[in-house]
């Protein structure tokens, strides 16, 4: 059996004052990935020569260390990671052979921060910046030119689709050039905050679900802008604009995690997911209650469910359902986990509570709920008739909702929703 040596990462320079964890990639001389892990963990590799890279949230891959010789005689090899010694390698065929080739030097920590700011700094003048918080906050400054008549919609989103398919009775506040400060009561389950934007020259609107990453002020910041898309119809090209959203959490690592998920960076997303889920396993109630944000474990569960890595998800989803009931996604995660392990009767009984939780903030959760409800609504042993009728009505509402979901985004974005359903937008 090949002896493995542990790599421990020492972050120095600018990194030493940062709480940022980097998703490390250990590569051989051919730049093939041999192992991955976060910078606060040990990564095991056999003896050899390696380079250490880390994928930034914008997709760039700087080399942080190397060439690094690892001996089988060592129990642990310490890897010093310093931003000023890092570089971006030149692609093969452009003046170099391996990762020792020259590249663009610079501070990698700055690149990390820049990557998280990039979409905010590149927003056009037609952008509105909306600060979202769970508490009192002075109205933020936003850009004056607001296209699409944006509104903040607050209410029981799922109930609106469930009962009458009418959304006109809920609260909708128009956004002005003075901005808006949202106060969300995270303990009022079933309620949701969305931002609506009219689609240009149509009678439809796009709705963006807004997730909160904690109970403190200024926990979520979103930027709205316009995305131009070229479509071909009857052989003719036409350009259409549609609203898009960028979400920034107060925790920059959580923002980076969301970026990795959205851009399908599977290795980085999985490393973060295991770490976040691990915080919910074997921890006492006081430790769990002290978590600044539940969104890390919630997103972590989604990533691991997609990979069908179920180890630890029983305890994690149970803790989430017990302690983070203000996050609507926790029900979907628990139900999906129970269904994956064959506990369908318990999953169906949990689904009956859907109305009190409301719609998940993330697209996968809504799709999980739809699929499970449709599976159980025809009858489940031990499920009362009244519960079966509830599931049937839930199924109809979820099918309608998912028909508007944008499949390209991680958060729930409902596009092309008819404005005829509203009287206040």
> How many domains is the chain partitioned into structurally?
3
Q: Write down the pLDDT at residue 99.
A: 30
Is the same domain home to 311 and 401? yes
274 and 391 in a common domain: yes
Mean pLDDT on 252-257 = 84
Reported as type and span, the H/E element at residue 321 is helix 313-323
User: Is there a contact between 85 and 15 (Cβ–Cβ < 8 Å)?
Assistant: no
Q: What would the mean pLDDT of 286-309 be, rounded to a whole number?
A: 85
Which are the contacts of 7, defined by CB distance < 8 A and separation ≥ 6? 26, 42, 43, 44, 45, 52, 70, 76, 77, 78, 79
Mean pLDDT of the chain: 74
Kind plus residue range of the DSSP H or E element containing 204: strand 204-209
Considering the domain architecture, whether residues 237 and 374 belong to the same structural domain is answered as no
| Greater pLDDT, 168 or 341 | 341
Same domain, 270 and 355: yes
State the CB neighbour count (10 A cutoff) for residue 42.
12
Residue pair 11/84 in contact (Cβ under 8 Å)? The answer is no
pLDDT greater than 50 at residue 93 = no
> Any idea what the Cα angle at residue 399 is, between residues 395 and 402, rounded to 5°?
130
Per residue in 121-142, pLDDT (tens digit) is: 333 333 334 544 433 333 333 3
Claim to verify: residue 147 and residue 84 sit in the same structural domain: no
For residue 98, the domain's CATH number is 2.60.40
109 and 91, same domain (yes or no)? yes
- Round the CA-based radius of gyration of the chain to a whole number and report it: 24
Helix ranges restricted to H, 77-203:
108-121, 157-163
- Token readout for 183 is 């106060």
pLDDT of the residue at 285: 62
Same domain, 227 and 350: no
> Are residues 76 and 212 located together in one domain of the fold?
no
CATH number at residue 286: 1.25.40
Q: Which residue has the higher pLDDT, 54 or 405?
A: 405
Q: What is the pLDDT of residues 181-198, one digit of tens each?
A: 444 444 456 678 788 888
Domain range enclosing 294:
252-414
Give φ, ψ of 399 to 5 degrees.
Answer: -65, -40
pLDDT at 198: 81
- Put residue 234 in one of left, alpha, beta given phi > 0 → left and psi -120 to 50 → alpha: left
Distance CA 235, CA 331 (A): 46
Q: Which two tokens stand for residue 229?
A: 């898309």
Note whether 285 and 243 are same-domain residues: no
292: which 2 tokens? 């600044």
Contacts 24+ apart (CB under 8 A), 307-312: 307/266, 307/270, 308/340, 309/270, 309/274, 310/337, 310/340, 310/341, 312/277, 312/278, 312/281
For position 219, what pLDDT does the model report? 60
**Cβ atoms within 10 Å, residue 90:** 15
Do residues 227 and 287 both lie within one domain?
A: no
Q: How many other CB atoms are there within 10 angstroms of residue 256's CB atom?
A: 25
Note the pTM of the prediction, 2 decimals. 0.78
Give the mean model confidence (pLDDT) for residues 67-81. 84
131 lies in the same domain as 243: yes
pLDDT exceeds 60 at position 166:
no
Nearest CA to 252 out of 131, 101, 110 is that of 110
Position 94 confidence tier, pLDDT thresholds 50, 70, 90? very low
Which residue, 97, 118, 139, sits at the end of a domain? 118
| Listed residues 118, 153, 179: the one ending a domain | 118
DSSP 22: P
Give the span between the Cα atoms of 221 and 240, in whole angstroms: 26
Q: Which of 59, 87, 118 is the last residue of a domain?
A: 118
Q: Are residues 355 and 384 in the same domain?
A: yes
């Amino acid at each position: 059996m090949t002896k493995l040596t542990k790599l421990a990462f020492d972050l120095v320079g600018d990194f030493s004052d940062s709480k940022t964890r980097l998703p490390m990639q250990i590569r051989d001389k051919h730049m093939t990935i041999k192992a991955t892990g976060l910078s606060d963990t040990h990564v095991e590799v056999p003896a050899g020569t390696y380079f250490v890279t880390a994928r930034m949230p914008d997709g760039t891959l700087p080399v942080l260390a190397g060439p690094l010789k690892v001996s089988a005689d060592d129990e642990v090899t310490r890897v010093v990671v310093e931003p000023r010694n890092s570089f971006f390698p030149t692609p093969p065929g452009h003046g170099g052979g391996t990762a020792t080739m020259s590249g663009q030097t610079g501070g990698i920590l700055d690149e990390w921060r820049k990557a998280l700011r990039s979409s905010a700094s590149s927003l056009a003048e037609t952008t509105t910046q909306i600060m979202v918080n769970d508490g009192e906050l002075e109205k933020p400054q936003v850009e004056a030119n607001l296209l699409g008549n944006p509104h903040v919609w607050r209410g029981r989103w799922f109930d609106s689709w469930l009962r009458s398919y009418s959304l006109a009775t809920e609260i909708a506040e128009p956004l002005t050039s003075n901005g808006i400060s949202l106060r969300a009561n995270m303990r009022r389950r079933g309620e949701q905050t969305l931002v609506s934007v009219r689609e240009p020259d149509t009678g439809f609107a796009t709705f963006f679900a807004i997730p909160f990453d904690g109970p403190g002020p200024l926990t979520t910041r979103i930027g709205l802008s316009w995305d131009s898309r070229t479509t071909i119809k009857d052989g003719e090209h036409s350009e259409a604009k549609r609203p898009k959203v960028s979400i920034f959490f107060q925790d920059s690592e959580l923002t980076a995690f969301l970026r990795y998920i959205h851009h399908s960076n599977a290795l980085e997303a999985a490393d973060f997911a295991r770490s976040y889920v691990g915080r919910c396993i074997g921890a006492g109630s006081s430790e769990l209650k002290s978590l600044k944000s539940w969104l890390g474990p919630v997103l972590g569960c989604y990533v691991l469910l997609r990979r069908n890595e179920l180890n630890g998800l029983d305890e994690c989803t149970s803790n989430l359902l017990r302690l983070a009931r203000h996050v609507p996604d926790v029900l979907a995660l628990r139900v999906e986990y129970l269904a994956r392990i064959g506990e369908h009767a318990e999953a169906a009984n949990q689904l009956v509570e859907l109305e009190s939780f409301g719609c998940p903030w993330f697209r996968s959760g809504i799709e999980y709920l739809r699929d499970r409800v449709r599976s159980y609504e025809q009858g489940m042993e031990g499920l009362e008739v009244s519960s079966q009728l509830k599931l049937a009505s839930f199924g109809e509402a979820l099918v309608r909702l998912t028909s508007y979901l944008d499949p390209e985004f991680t958060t729930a974005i409902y596009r092309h929703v008819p404005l005829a359903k509203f009287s206040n937008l």
